[in-house]
Amino acid sequence: MDYSKNFYQIKSNEEIFYKVSLEKNTVGYYDLPFQDTSEFKEYAKTVTQQDIVVVGIGGSSLGTYAIHKFLQHKENMKKLHFLESTDPLDLERRISKLDLNDTLFIIISKSGTTIETVSILKYLSSITMLDKSNTICITESDSKLNTYAKTNDMKTFEIPKNVGGRFSVFTAVGLVTMAIMGLDIDRILFGCQTIYNDYFNRGDYYTSIMEKARFIVENKNRFNINVVFSYSSLLEGFNKWYVQLWGESLGKININQTKQALTPIALTGPVDQHSFLQLIMEGKRDKTITFIKVADFENELTIPDVSLPGLEELDYINNIKFKNLINEQADATIEAIQNLKDIPCDIITIEAQDEYNIGKLMYSYELLTSIVGSFVQINTYDQPGVEAGKIILKDKLKKKI
Ligand code: PA5
């Protein structure tokens, strides 16, 4: 396929591999797959509450939400809730669903001073007694939130300083909650290890991720929108996490003072086949598409062999399993796009909806983000644009006092 390439001193795979390997000394997320998880699992065994509430925003919430959405069918009977937004109606509605006498609050903030998280924490402390029996904090060791937790003798878990918020899902940030919900967190990390080992030993994954990253970067001026099109509703959380990871990591000014504009969009099939697909098919050729399919949903739900009066002509769908239907829908969309021959697309197939596979998928996206960040020569791990808004907000709110 001939995509007009737009090179700007793109480094070789060798240079990028070297740079990413060097980063391992300073960027903490790379080695998380090999950590000891016993503290998280031991703590999880002690949790008796039925309602589990994650209070956090952005990187302190989205990764956990992504795994939860994907693996809800494997969780125990506890109910997991997320308090993230300051929307008062949403907040009240979510809190009204809790049995406050049987709730564990997990307050997560790396900085420990995020307005959304702290305002919700304050509100919670006004409606119920927060103490060591029902509240834990996950934060950096020297944050103000850590001081709050220690003052109240609450259990804390540490977020390593060298792991950024949106790369922190495989720290206590995600793993403590997942362990409480009964998921096998070692299998999640085993999925990450598979990707890590393959990449750093230059296996098949190394080859394919380099090819993908290189294509995205070499063609970024023409195809500057990177669509993830997930054919499973259970990947909606992953989609949100991807948008944050890609946008907040890659949307910034590089060392040559050029603004990078790789723009993430996340769609869910088949629903978005009936909306955004039109724009992909007939709109501007500025998008790469990555389809994510689930090979086996391990569910036998079937369209019954019934004929409905007036709808007889649709009887050809009788006896089709829904898991086959959704994959046929994905394949039909992929074929329609491939027939056009001018929209780059690739396919990721997830073998099963389990811990191992979500670990693999999320870790591979973290790695892809780091590699693309190295190619476009930016600091993948900071977020000055987000920080700017936080500073203005704090100033505005202080002036009101
Ligand atoms: O990726 C990031 O750094 C951000 O999205 C943060 O996770 C988000 O702003 C929340 O910050 P904190 O964990 O400090 O409350």
Closest CA to 210 of 61, 20, 399, 29: 20
**345, 342, 347: which is closest to 4 by C-alpha?**
342
Strand order in the sheet with 103-109: 79-83, 51-55, 103-109, 135-139, 155-158
What per-residue confidence (pLDDT) applies to 8? 46
Give the model confidence (pLDDT) of 226-283 as tens digits.
999 999 999 999 999 999 999 999 998 887 777 877 999 999 999 999 999 999 999 9
Q: In what order do the strands lie in the sheet with 263-268?
A: 263-268, 225-230, 287-294, 345-350
- Rounded CA-CA distance 20/218 in Å is 18
Q: What confidence score (pLDDT) does residue 258 get?
A: 78
107: nearest Cα among 168, 43, 172, 164: 172
Give CA–CA dist 299/178, Å, rounded: 23
Regarding whether 200 and 118 lie in a shared domain, the answer is no
Contact 280, 333 (CB under 8 A): no
Which of 159, 69, 71, 40 minimizes the C-alpha distance to 107?
A: 159
Domain of 102 in residue numbering reads as: 26-186
**Residue 177: inside a domain:** yes
Q: Are residues 238 and 340 in the same domain?
A: yes
Domain end position, chosen among 148, 167, 186: 186
223 in the same domain as 359: yes
Residues 181 and 211 in one domain: no
Distance 266 CA to ligand 1 centre (A): 20
On average, the pLDDT of the chain sits at 94
Are 289 and 149 part of one and the same domain?
no
Q: pLDDT at position 20, please?
A: 87
- Token pair belonging to 34: 């090999």
pLDDT of residue 6: 41
Cβ–Cβ under 8 Å, residues 132 and 154: yes
CA of 170 to the centre of ligand 1 (A): 15
Kindly state whether residues 199 and 147 are assigned to the same domain. no
Digit-coded pLDDT (tens) for 123-167: 999 999 999 999 999 999 999 999 999 999 999 999 999 999 999
Using DSSP bridges, classify how beta strands 79-83 and 103-109 pair: parallel, antiparallel or unpaired: unpaired
Rounded distance from Cα 24 to ligand 1 centre (Å): 21
Confidence class of residue 83 from pLDDT cuts 50, 70 and 90?
very high
End-to-end alpha-carbon separation of the chain, Å? 61
**pLDDT band per the 50, 70, 90 thresholds, residue 14:** confident
How far is Cα of residue 62 from the mean position of the Cα atoms in its chain?
Answer: 6
The reply to whether ligand 1 has any atom less than 6 angstroms from the CB of 146 is no
Residue 358 lies in a domain: yes
Environment class of 329 (CB within 10 Å of its CB; exposed 0-12, middle 13-18, buried 19+):
middle
The pick from 29, 57, 85, 167 for probing ligand 1's pocket by mutation, whose C-beta has the most ligand atoms within 8 angstroms, reads 57
Q: How many CB atoms lie within 10 A of CB 23?
A: 17
Q: Is the dihedral of CA 149, 153, 156, 160 positive or negative?
A: positive
Judge if 281 and 173 occupy the same domain.
Answer: no
Q: Once rounded to an integer, what is the mean pLDDT over residues 34-58?
A: 98
Please state the rounded mean pLDDT for residues 107-112.
Answer: 97
- Whether 12 is in a domain gets the answer no
Q: Provide, rounded to the nearest whole percent, the portion of the chain with pLDDT above 90.
A: 86
E strand or H helix at 188: helix 185-200
Q: Are residues 227 and 326 in the same domain?
A: yes
The residue among 131, 159, 186 that closes a domain is: 186
- For range 307-320, the mean pLDDT: 97
| Whether the complex's predicted ipTM surpasses the cut of 0.95 | yes
Q: CA geometry: angle at 137 spanning 354 and 171, to 5°?
A: 40
Q: What is the mean pLDDT of residues 198-213?
A: 94
Kindly give the number of the ligand 1 atom that is closest to the alpha carbon of 57: 10
Provide mean pLDDT across the span 296-314: 96
Residue 389, domain member (yes or no): no
pLDDT tens sequence across 352-368: 999 999 999 999 999 99
Domains held by the chain: number: 2
Separation between Cα atoms, residue 218 and residue 199, nearest integer Å: 21
The pLDDT of 369-375, averaged and rounded, is 94
| Active-site residue list | 248, 274, 390
**Closest-lying ligand 1 atom to the alpha carbon of residue 59:** 7
Residue 321 lies in a domain: yes
Q: Which tokens go with 74?
A: 């494997």
Q: What's phi and psi for 47, nearest 5 deg?
A: -80, 125
Could you give the 3-state DSSP secondary structure of residue 213?
A: helix
Instruction: Give residue 391's Cα distance to chain centre.
Output: 25
Contacts (Cβ under 8 Å, ≥6 apart) of 363? 33, 170, 191, 192, 195, 196
Residue 328 lies in a domain: yes
Say yes or no: 361 and 239 in one domain: yes
Reported confidence tier of residue 9, pLDDT bands at 50, 70, 90: low
What CATH number is given to the structural domain containing 301?
3.40.50.10490
Single out the residue in 167, 186, 205 at which a domain terminates. Answer: 186
133 and 253 together in one domain: no
Strand locations in 314-400 (E): 345-350
Q: 264 and 347: one domain?
A: yes
- Is a pLDDT exceeding 70 seen at residue 10? no
Q: Are residues 235 and 132 in the same domain?
A: no
159 within domain boundaries: yes
Decide if 193 is inside a domain: yes
